[in-house]
């Protein structure tokens, strides 16, 4: 999709084609027939652009819910865009600190964060290097009628603001690219632009937020080789139990906790209030104790693990670690917490495929969920060896109970735990 075709899609004629394409069958099997039919009456470039948007909007529902139907995307822009729930959460934090002050965004992509902040009442300007992506961001601003609050400029932020950031901006938000043609980028020095460059620009305003990869190395944030100078708070965000994003809050936005794990519920729209649960370090709390397996197993949320807050979860449930290097918490008591999934342990066994197969048969297990941490076992192969098919399917024609198999280790010894999820306290 080129710029001219996309701009044509924004005209009345293009919008009519987009509506018609949205009402058509765009599945893989029917796509060619649909495209052929539409091209008989409409320009091919507009038909191609419309079909691309319809298919991207369908994919985007996972990130933006129903609002995806009014938004515009590029394939790369959708892949790298901020989820609606996370953008709304971040916008609220900006609004609480800045009020109505303007924000300068460096690298806005398709404009997910930009429109979320504008819907929270914050104006400002965004800069985007890629010409087509800049037009898509402008279209999304218009889709939500936010043109009076924010603008999008096609430019290179690293050169445009090399001499300084203009007065009038209360904060900077930056989202450097973390993907190349070869896939994800994990080294902050390989971001586009590099994290050091982005931080250098962000340091010129009183407050800033920089989006980073959830797997960013700890040494890049703290320590002698850290890229960050001055106050910083690293926040890892989980949506529905999956770690989705991380961000660095700098300067006046940093707070005083250093790191934070935030849990969001799926479905919060960029304009909605939403609920956020957050866990921060407890002063004076050391490493969790190491102890034998208890009655219950707790699996901390991925954001908790990324933020190095497993000790805080262990303290909440009165537990410890069976292995000091593996983030599974065990306790003799059941204390439900949103920051960890709870399981009641039925048995702890040395890892043996033969013995596991016999135990699962004896317990009449019909549906098996396999989890692992600190184990090199191939889960798919193990399921087949145990007589189970694909993930979560019934085993070998048997009907029966549901069980969770947890593979881990204690020291160098591989261990298998048979457990069942606990979602409420039994009477």
Ramachandran region, residue 364 (left: φ > 0; alpha: ψ -120 to 50; beta: rest): left
Label residues 387-400 b or e (16+ Cβ within 10 Å = b): ebeeeeeebeeeee
List of E strands, 26-112: 102-106
What stretches of 108-233 show up as alpha helix (H) in DSSP? Answer: 112-119, 131-143, 157-160, 195-202
Q: Looking at the domain assignment, is residue 132 inside a domain?
A: yes
Q: How far apart are CA 6 and CA 45, in angstroms?
A: 9
Q: What is the pLDDT of residue 17?
A: 96
Q: What is the pLDDT of residue 390?
A: 55
Asked if residue 96 and residue 54 are part of one domain, the reply reads: no
Domain that holds residue 263: 79-279
CATH number of residue 125's parent domain: 3.40.50.150
Q: How far apart are CA 174 and CA 185, in angstroms?
A: 16
Asked if residue 315 and residue 266 are part of one domain, the reply reads: no
Q: Looking at the domain assignment, is residue 285 inside a domain?
A: no
Q: What is the pLDDT of residue 360?
A: 95
Asked if residue 143 and residue 46 are part of one domain, the reply reads: no
Asked if residue 158 and residue 37 are part of one domain, the reply reads: no
Q: How far apart are CA 142 and CA 21, in angstroms?
A: 21
Q: What is the pLDDT of residue 426?
A: 43
26 phi/psi in degrees, rounded to 5: -115, 20
pLDDT tens digits, one per residue of 195-244: 888 888 888 888 999 999 898 888 777 766 666 677 889 999 999 889 99
Asked if residue 379 and residue 271 are part of one domain, the reply reads: no
Number of H helices, E strands in the chain: 14, 18
pLDDT tens digits, one per residue of 317-346: 999 999 999 999 999 999 999 999 999 999
Asked if residue 320 and residue 224 are part of one domain, the reply reads: no
At which residue do the structure tokens 């917490």 appear?
A: 337
Q: Which has the closest alpha carbon to 277: 307, 251, 322? A: 307
Asked if residue 240 and residue 336 are part of one domain, the reply reads: no
Q: Looking at the domain assignment, is residue 290 inside a domain?
A: no
User: Is the distance from CB of 350 to CB of 376 less than 8 angstroms?
Assistant: no
CATH number of residue 383's parent domain: 3.30.2130
Q: Looking at the domain assignment, is residue 300 inside a domain?
A: yes
Q: What is the pLDDT of residue 182?
A: 67
Number of domains, the chain: 3
**C-alpha distances in Å from residue 249, one per residue of 9, 192, 206, 210, 292:** 37, 19, 11, 7, 38
The pTM of the full predicted model, rounded to 2 decimals, is 0.89
Asked if residue 307 and residue 172 are part of one domain, the reply reads: no
**DSSP-derived 3-state class of residue 416:** strand
Q: Looking at the domain assignment, is residue 137 inside a domain?
A: yes
pLDDT beneath 50: ranges in the chain: 270-273, 392-397, 426-427
Q: Looking at the domain assignment, is residue 381 inside a domain?
A: yes
């Amino acid at each position: 999709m080129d710029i001219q075709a996309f701009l044509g899609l924004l005209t009345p004629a293009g919008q009519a084609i987009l509506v018609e394409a949205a009402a058509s069958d765009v599945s893989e099997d029917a796509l060619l027939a649909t495209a052929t039919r539409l091209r008989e009456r409409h320009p091919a470039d507009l038909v191609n652009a419309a079909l691309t948007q319809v298919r991207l909007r369908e994919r985007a529902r996972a990130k933006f819910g129903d609002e995806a139907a009014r938004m515009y995307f590029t394939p790369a822009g959708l892949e790298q865009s901020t989820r609606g729930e996370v953008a709304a959460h971040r916008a609220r934090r900006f609004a609480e600190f800045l009020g109505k002050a303007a924000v300068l965004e460096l690298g806005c992509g398709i404009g997910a964060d930009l429109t979320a902040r504008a819907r929270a009442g914050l104006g400002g300007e965004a800069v985007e290097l890629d010409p087509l992506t800049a037009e898509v961001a402008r279209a999304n601003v218009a889709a939500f009628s936010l043109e009076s609050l924010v603008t999008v400029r096609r430019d290179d932020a690293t050169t445009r603001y090399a001499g300084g950031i203009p007065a009038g901006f209360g904060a900077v938000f930056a989202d450097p690219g973390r993907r190349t043609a070869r896939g994800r980028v994990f080294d902050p020095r390989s971001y586009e632009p590099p994290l050091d460059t982005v931080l250098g620009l962000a340091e010129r305003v009183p407050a800033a937020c920089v989006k980073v990869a959830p797997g960013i190395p700890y040494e890049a944030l703290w320590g002698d080789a850290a890229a960050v100078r001055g106050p910083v708070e690293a926040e890892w965000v989980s949506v529905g139990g999956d770690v989705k994003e991380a961000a660095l809050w700098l300067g006046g936005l940093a707070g005083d906790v250093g790191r934070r794990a935030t849990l969001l519920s799926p479905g919060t729209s960029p304009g909605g209030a939403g609920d956020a649960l957050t866990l921060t370090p407890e002063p004076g709390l050391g490493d969790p104790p190491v102890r034998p397996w208890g009655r219950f197993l707790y699996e901390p949320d991925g954001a908790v693990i990324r933020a190095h807050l497993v000790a805080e979860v262990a303290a909440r449930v009165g537990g410890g670690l069976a292995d000091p290097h593996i983030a599974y918490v065990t306790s003799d008591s059941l204390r439900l917490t949103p920051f960890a999934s709870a399981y009641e342990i039925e048995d702890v066994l040395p890892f043996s495929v033969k013995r596991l197969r016999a135990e699962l048969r004896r317990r009449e297990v019909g549906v098996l969920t396999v989890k692992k941490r600190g184990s090199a076992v191939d889960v798919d192969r193990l399921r087949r060896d145990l007589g189970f098919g694909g993930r979560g399917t019934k085993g070998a024609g048997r009907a029966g109970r549901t069980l969770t198999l947890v593979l881990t280790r204690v020291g160098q010894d591989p261990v298998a735990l048979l457990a069942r999820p606990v979602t409420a306290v039994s009477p």
